[in-house]
Structure 1
Amino acid sequence: MAQAGAEADASCLESFELYETDSKFYILGTNTDKTLWRLLKIDRMEPSELNIDEDSTMYSHSEYLDLRKTLDEDHRSTGGLNFVTNCCGIIGFIKFLGPYYMLIITEQRKIGAIFGHAVYQVTKTAMIELSNSKMKPTLLNSNDENRYKKLLQTIDLRKDFFFSHSYNIMRSLQKNFNDPQKGWDLYDTMFVWNEFLTRGVRNILESTCWTVALVYGFFKQDKIKISGKDTMLTLIARRSRHYAGTRYLRRGVNEEGRVANDVETEQLVFDDTLGPEQISSVVQNRGSIPLFWSQETSKLIIKPDIICMRRTIIMKQPGFILKILGGDMEIPSSS
């Protein structure tokens, strides 16, 4: 088997192959140069339950070829191992009334890089039903099930969603340097929009190497000249997944201390040839005014009146602000 010393390299899986048999889905994931492979097994016999198992073995490329042959031979009596699609990562799993569905990224486009870590935009996705054709539940073709599927498919993940396999793009540069985190903690941040969709598989595997953390917002990178030197300018806007919505339907703050349409904007300026020490990062946070207020929309009123609401403010908001700023501050008792 592949050397155990290569475990760190295999922890960052960047491309995947999805196969199916009559009873299971198999996902083979590999690192950047396709020298190390790992195997994920998804059971199809109980499609209303999420039964996933990760093979702890790391395979070399030659062992990966042998593994495919072995899996095909093991399932030869029921049709063998069949290739489904290549993919760039798992967005998550979702269940409505019947079976689970797996959401995957099938195409990605590179939109930039930070210190050699590629950043990608989602360009194509697929929703894979876990149940096989022989075990499709009666609910699968129900009107309600189809309606929920159509509602999910109205969300266009190709628009303004981006991710990185090897860089924590959901966090600012300051946080990545001063408070490095990995794995589970990264998905608990306010900027990972598929946190709920990945929660089940992360709970089962206690790992995040098979899923991608999607950030919703804006990413633009370009080269500019400063004093005759080529410099990389990167602008990143991260929208919070908490209390998000359209302009007039989300205003103020909620009971959890989350303000409407909270956005973190980061400007990175660096010379990629000089290394990570030559970098400037400026972060700004903006959001709705942190009070309980709203506006009623009307086509007849150009500027709707602001409606203020009287509510008792609980002590969740200061703690939330401290978490955002990452500073130390003594909060006086409310008594």
Structure 2
Amino acid sequence: MASTYESFNLRTTPERFYIEACDDGCVDVLTIDRVSTEMTLTVRRDIPASAETRPICGLMGTLRLVAGMYLVVITKRKKVGDLLGHAVWKALDFDIISYKKTILHLTDNQMQDNKTFLSMINNVLHTDGFYFATDYDLTHTLQRLANTSPEFQEMSLLERADQRFVWNGHLLREFIAQPELHKFVYPVIHGFITMKSSCINGMVFEWSIISRRSCFRAGVRYYVRGIDSEGHPANYVETEQIVQHSSSKASFVQTRGSIPFYWSQRPNLKYKPKPQISKTMNHLDGFQRHFDSQIILYGRQVILNLINQKGSEKPLELAFDKMVTSLGNGMIKYIAFDFHKECSRMRWHRLQILLDMVAEMQDEFGYFLVDADGKVLMNQEGTFRSNCMDCLDRTNVIQSLLARRSLQSQLRRMGVLHTGQQIEDQSDFESKFKNAWADNADACAKQYAGTGALKTDFTRMGKRTQWGLLMDGWNSMIRYYKNNFSDGFRQLPIIMVVAFSMCIICLLMAGDTWTETLAYVLFWGTASVVTGGLILFNGLDFVDAPKLVQKEKLD
């Protein structure tokens, strides 16, 4: 595989950007003309001595805004660990640099639009969880990498990457057409990666989780639900758990994704907007596209639908079941498990019911296993596709339990665990395992819903706690605010805020007589109630929706 360069200097003049590769013995320089935007490969001696120099960690790519072209660079990174001997990095900070030296050519409205777009791009770039490697393909699972052609192995990271998970793919379009420039850029994934060195029975092994979020049908909770016409579901994540011991390695892959037909749940200021299933779209077409793709990529599918089987979620469960039956594909099995009903009143031990239900299927699917000589001993023949409403909280709990069961089998096969030993009994590793999966939940939740995950006290400690319930309440409140007033760059209606504030002030600072105080409180209280009622009644108008795309018609 053609690896990319490891480190760079950005050398800048008024006319050009020079991205200088700093690897030992390298003289290559990527030169970008700031006027024509042309990109060429030159050498170090072509850089003018007057060029301003700053170190950078990598290129995200280029993009065009109202003011013209911009160069997006990674300015800070930290090492996450080594995956199979390859360094994996997390991008921590970015810079968006204009090709133009001034924006005076823009009108006031264009300047404001450009400023808004830059703010939105910065907001996305600083959503935690961008990862890259310069000499390893993070976009593919171990099993996919092991089943490739010699031609594939010779491709650059950019050419061979799984486009579902390349979050800077749009920014790299200019580079794709020029193979000689591929070594200056690499695919960046979004999601979560953790790597832990662990020891059980005196044997050391490396254990990792990689969650890859799909860049197709990307967007935030509530605004992006269901699937698109290509069958791409919202909040789709491929999660791979990898273990390595004495050069043997194994992986277990699961997926999560929104219920794969056309439905919506638009914010309307209610705590939990009612889901709406489209009455006009051809559900089965998109549904089939999604599962045809899943079967090609992963083999047999077991759907674990964890939503409520009563109330507002019930129609979604019935429609999902009906669609699987209509498809009539023997490669797909549907299992509905009402997570909240089964685990109500802190009965979390009842999750074992679901694990027992799918145990035989999990054993049939197996996992990917390679011995110390590189011989493939086993392939994973299918995956569990889990979902709840958001594919975050309930989903992550179930995925962590399935991952533990698979890991236990892998560690026994590798000789790390003795026959009869349970992972739960290995207190040091069990703590690492639980916390890593809870961190995975938090990362995926922040990227889609704006807060950490719910129910992570169970994932971290194996039980529900009063503190966990309190934190779930806090996170739910923050999610409500973000989903209604932050995700679309929005502002809370000012009249209601002013009226409510004045009502409180009048209560705290009483007038000369009680009748005067009562009159003020009644006036401002009535204003608060009336404006609040109007806002709730017309919730869709007051919620600040994303402005750059046409709203989907789903009814």
TM normalised by structure 1 equals 0.78
Once residues 269 and 74 of structure 2 are traced to their aligned partners in structure 1, the CA distance between those partners, rounded to angstroms, is 39
8 Å CA contact 1:16, 1:27 repeated in 2: yes
Q: 2:123 aligns with which of 150, 154, 162?
A: 154
For 1:224, give the aligned amino acid.
Answer: S
* Residue aligning to 1:203: 177
Correspondence 1:80-229 to 2 at 5 A? 80-132=49-101, 138-139=105-106, 142-157=111-126, 159-179=128-148, 181=152, 182-183=155-156, 184-187=158-161, 189-205=163-179, 207-229=181-203
Partners of 2:14 and 2:284 in 1: how far apart? Answer: 54
CA deviation after TM superposition for structure 1 residue 252, in Å: 1.7
Deviates more, 1:166-175 or 1:18-27: 18-27
Cα gap change, 1:168/1:317 in structure 2, threshold over 3 Å: closer, same or farther? farther
Which position in structure 1 is the counterpart of 2:38?
51
SS in 2 for 1:17: strand
1:1-335 superposed matches below 5 A: 11-31=3-23, 34-46=24-36, 50-55=37-42, 67=45, 71-72=47-48, 80-132=49-101, 138-139=105-106, 142-157=111-126, 159-179=128-148, 181=152, 182-183=155-156, 184-187=158-161, 189-205=163-179, 207-271=181-245, 274-275=246-247, 278-302=248-272, 304-310=273-279, 311-313=281-283, 315=285, 318-324=288-294, 325-326=296-297
Q: Partners of 1:106 and 1:173 in 2: how far apart?
A: 30
One-letter identity of the residue aligned with 2:230: E
1:206 and 1:230 map into 2 onto residues whose CA distance is 41
Alpha-carbon distance in 1 for matches of 2:54, 2:94: 11
**Percent identical residues:** 27
Alpha-carbon distance change, 204 to 139 in structure 1, aligned in 2, over 3 angstroms: farther
Q: Deviations over 1:141-187 (max 9, x none)?
A: 82222222222222243611111111111111111121264334334
CA contact (8 A) 2:166 2:215 kept: yes
Q: Is the 8 A contact 2:9 2:54 kept in 1?
A: yes
Deviation sequence 1:200-229 (CA, Å, 0-9, x none):
232245642111311111111111223321
Task: Could you tell me which runs of 5 or more consecutive residues in structure 2 were left unpaired when the two chains were aligned.
Answer: 301-326, 329-555
CA shift at 1:30, angstroms?
3.5
Report the Cα distance in structure 2 between the residues aligned to 1:291 and 1:36, rounded to whole angstroms.
51
Between the aligned partners of 1:317 and 1:53, the Cα distance in structure 2 is: 44
Deviation at 1:137, TM superposition (A): 5.7
CA distance 1:128–1:300, change in 2 (3 Å): closer
| Aligned residues of 2:139 and 2:162 also touching (Cα < 8 A) | no
After TM superposition, give the deviation of residue 264 of structure 1 in Å: 0.4
Contact 1:255 1:314 in 2 (8 A): no
- Greater percentage in helix: 2
| Unmatched runs of 5 consecutive residues or more in structure 1 | 1-7, 58-63, 73-79
Please give the alpha-carbon distance, in whole angstroms, between the structure 1 residues aligned to 2:277 and 2:262. Answer: 6
Higher-strand-fraction structure: 1
Q: Is the 8 A contact 1:140 1:146 kept in 2?
A: no
Taking the aligned partners of 2:176 and 2:9, their CA distance within structure 1 comes to 20
Distance 1:160 1:241, change over 3 A: same
Change (3 A) 1:195 1:140: farther
What number of residue pairs does the alignment pair up?
Answer: 293
* Whole-Å separation in 2 of the counterparts to 1:140 and 1:86: 34
1:82 shift after superposition: 1.8
Contact 1:139 1:145 in 2 (8 A): no
User: Match of 1:41, as an amino acid?
Assistant: T
Question: Within 2, Cα distance between the matches of 1:143 and 1:297?
Answer: 27
Indicate if the aligned counterparts of 1:170 and 1:191 stay in contact, CA closer than 8 A.
Answer: yes
Tell me how far apart the structure 2 counterparts of residues 128 and 268 of structure 1 sit (CA, whole Å). Answer: 38
The alpha-carbon deviation at position 316 of structure 1 amounts to 6.0
Partner SS state of residue 234, structure 2: coil
Q: Which has the larger radius of gyration?
A: 2
Q: Are 2:94 and 2:125, in contact at CA under 8 Å, matched by a contact in 1?
A: no
Where 2:126 maps in the other structure, the secondary structure is: coil
Structure 1 residues 202 and 144, CA gap change in structure 2 (3 angstroms): same
Report what 1:3 is aligned to.
none
Q: Secondary structure at the match of 1:95?
A: strand
Change (3 A) 1:305 1:15: same
Secondary structure of 2:175 counterpart: helix
Distance 1:291 1:322, change over 3 A: closer
**Residue 173 and residue 103 in structure 1: after superposition, are their counterparts in 2 closer, same or farther (change >3 A)?**
same
Is the 8 Å Cα contact of residues 13 and 52 (structure 2) preserved in structure 1?
no
C-alpha deviation, 1:297, in angstroms: 3.6
Whole-Å separation in 1 of the counterparts to 2:161 and 2:194: 23
Q: C-alpha distance in 2, partners of 1:308/1:319?
A: 18
State the distance in 1 between where 2:298 and 2:265 align.
Answer: 33
